[in-house]
Amino acid sequence: MGAAALCLLIYLLRLDSVAGLIVDDAWYVLLAKALATGQGYTLINSPSPGIVPFYPPAFSALLSLVFRVAPEFPQNVWLLKSVSVAAMMGTGVVACRYFARDRALPFALALGLAVAAVLLPGLVFLATSTVMSECFFTLVQFLTIIVVERAAREGAGRRPWAYAALGAALAALALLTRAVAIGLVVAAAIYLVKERRWRPAVIFAAVTACLVGPWMIYSRAHRPTPAQRMEQGGNIVEGYAAQFWQRTAGQGTSGEITAGEVPDRVWKNASEILRYDLGAFVFYPLFRPLEPGERMRIGSESFIFAVALSLLLLAGYVSVVRARVTLAEIAVPLTLAVTMLWGWEQFRLLLPVASFFLFYMLMGVRAAQRLLRRLYEAEPPPPGYAVPTFAVWFVVALYVYANAQYLQRKHNPVPAERSRWAMAYEENRQLMAWAQDNLPQAEVLATQNPPLVHLFTGHKTVAVDDPAGRWEAWNQARVRYLVRTSPYRLPNPDAAERKYRVVRSQGGELNLRVVDLGPPASRLPWGASVPPAPVKIEPSQ
């Protein structure tokens, strides 16, 4: 009870009013509102009605229940975040049960792993300062592994098909929450076949296909048109095949890679995991900043830690595999393979499996004990779990320290030294409040954060990336204003933007602003140096 109280206290103390700055979480909230208000799973911010996103729908569907109870945004932010907080508390309970029962670890060690899974500062941040899906996904992933393990162990007389069907439902829920769960789904099917559980394997595959297939068919049949993708931009309207080839997934302006560059991407991602992420899973305050966007100077000596941790992880994984291959030993490598193929920051993608990385490292510590005893003793007894238990609680202490550092910053008596993330949100909120009060409601806004600006202002919104390339689409949509939002400091206007009038400069640290482009029929095109001929605007549909 003490561990649970500590975890809940840290989450409650870290809760803030910030939501939507990552953009992805703003899309989740906007889609939840669309579902709750009967507008379907569509981009209600768009001037073009009926755009169906590529985001899997499960998490937004769950958040839509909050909108039905408390429909006003941002007043309902704390309720929206309570979904992730509750999921992390559930993750702690489920993880403790998994490591104690399925892994047969001593309770103190299992509890330490469970507390570490909950207090990992990266997940705490996502639960309390965003409305992202990783926390809910982490819980569903653990439940899937536990239930599928039960399906593989149960005898014929105990109806293993029921566990297989339940495991399939959970796996489908995971896949409908985050597409990275494809590794988990494939691993579960492989594992049941490996265990010669033929009927549960067939049931698992069939139920998963039945639950996921309709969404895949529907999303493919209603995929956004090229014009709709041009309007909204980003991963919300781009399929995974297109995102895979983008240098940075979801950012079309980042360029594309070729098939010959895929090995370089894998190597870059593997290096990132080795040099930074493994260290962050253990020595979090030394390898990760307190808030997004902060720079950290990580010295060359950190490479020694990274190598040591990777060797411990590899040794632990091998020792576990030699004893018995469970579902996790298949799911974790497959998940790792999926993330390393993707053009995105690896740390956030790997957060849901961080507790398994830590488990393998601790088993590596135990394997190192065994090796040392063999070197110095003729007939050494098997090593116990005292050292791994001490190590995991040391990691927990580091996590608590990192969370305490964040709380100290959050409540710093000097306002300028408080949480930069919260201050950035306040600056963005003030800019959007000005836009709501001063811009005509009929005007369409171009912005870096279309869902959040729509949630705050009610205006229809489009993506702001590549203004020159989108200019004709903006004319047709009657876009008049740029609302320059960002969680980080924006550069000063370039030569193209300086031709237009700034109607609101927010001040502050981020250089946020609202720019009036002028009436679409007579304004100067983006990047043009001479006045244009009048533009004929087609009537809106």
Give the DSSP H or E segment for 231.
Answer: helix 226-232
Handedness of CA 477, 255, 515, 530 (dihedral sign): negative
Q: How far is 209 from 536, CA to CA, in rounded Å? A: 49
Residue 179 DSSP class: G
Please check the confidence at residue 512 and state whether its pLDDT lies above 90.
Answer: yes
Handedness of CA 109, 148, 273, 253 (dihedral sign): negative
- Taking only the tens place, the pLDDT of each residue in 446-479 is 999 999 999 999 999 999 988 988 898 899 889 9
Predicted local distance difference test score (pLDDT) of residue 416: 80
Handedness of CA 250, 256, 261, 267 (dihedral sign): negative
Among the residue ranges 127-141, 217-231, 324-338, the one predicted with the least confidence is 217-231
Q: How confident is the model at residue 529 (pLDDT cuts 50, 70, 90)?
A: low
Please check the confidence at residue 142 and state whether its pLDDT lies above 80.
Answer: yes
Predicted local distance difference test score (pLDDT) of residue 370: 83
Q: What per-residue string of b and e applies to 3-33 under the rule 16 or more CB within 10 Å gives b? A: bbebbeebbeebbbebbbbbbbbbbbbbbbb
12 phi, psi to nearest 5 deg: -65, -40
Average pLDDT over residues 380-402: 90
> Does 61 reside within a domain?
no
Q: Are 87 and 123 in contact (CB under 8 A)?
A: no
Among the residue ranges 172-176, 242-246, 450-454, the one predicted with the least confidence is 242-246
> Does 32 reside within a domain?
no
> Does 125 reside within a domain?
no
Strands 512-516 and 479-484: antiparallel
Q: How confident is the model at residue 379 (pLDDT cuts 50, 70, 90)?
A: low
- Taking only the tens place, the pLDDT of each residue in 253-295 is 788 899 999 999 999 999 999 888 999 999 998 888 888 878 7
> Does 445 reside within a domain?
yes
Please check the confidence at residue 152 and state whether its pLDDT lies above 60.
Answer: yes
List Cβ neighbours of 15 (8 Å cut-off, separation of 6 or more). 78, 81, 85, 128
Q: How confident is the model at residue 533 (pLDDT cuts 50, 70, 90)?
A: very low
Total Cβ atoms within 10 A of residue 482: 23
The whole domain housing 428 covers 420-516
> Does 457 reside within a domain?
yes
- Taking only the tens place, the pLDDT of each residue in 201-226 is 999 999 999 999 999 999 999 999 88
Predicted local distance difference test score (pLDDT) of residue 381: 67
Q: How confident is the model at residue 229 (pLDDT cuts 50, 70, 90)?
A: confident
Average pLDDT over residues 137-150: 97
For the chain, the domain total comes to 1
> Does 493 reside within a domain?
yes
Among the residue ranges 135-149, 369-383, 400-414, 439-453, the one predicted with the least confidence is 369-383
Q: Nearest 5 degrees, angle CA 397-CA 362-CA 369?
A: 120
Q: Are 445 and 456 in contact (CB under 8 A)?
A: no
Please check the confidence at residue 538 and state whether its pLDDT lies above 60.
Answer: no
Q: Are 350 and 336 in contact (CB under 8 A)?
A: yes
Average pLDDT over residues 148-167: 83
> Does 9 reside within a domain?
no
> Does 449 reside within a domain?
yes
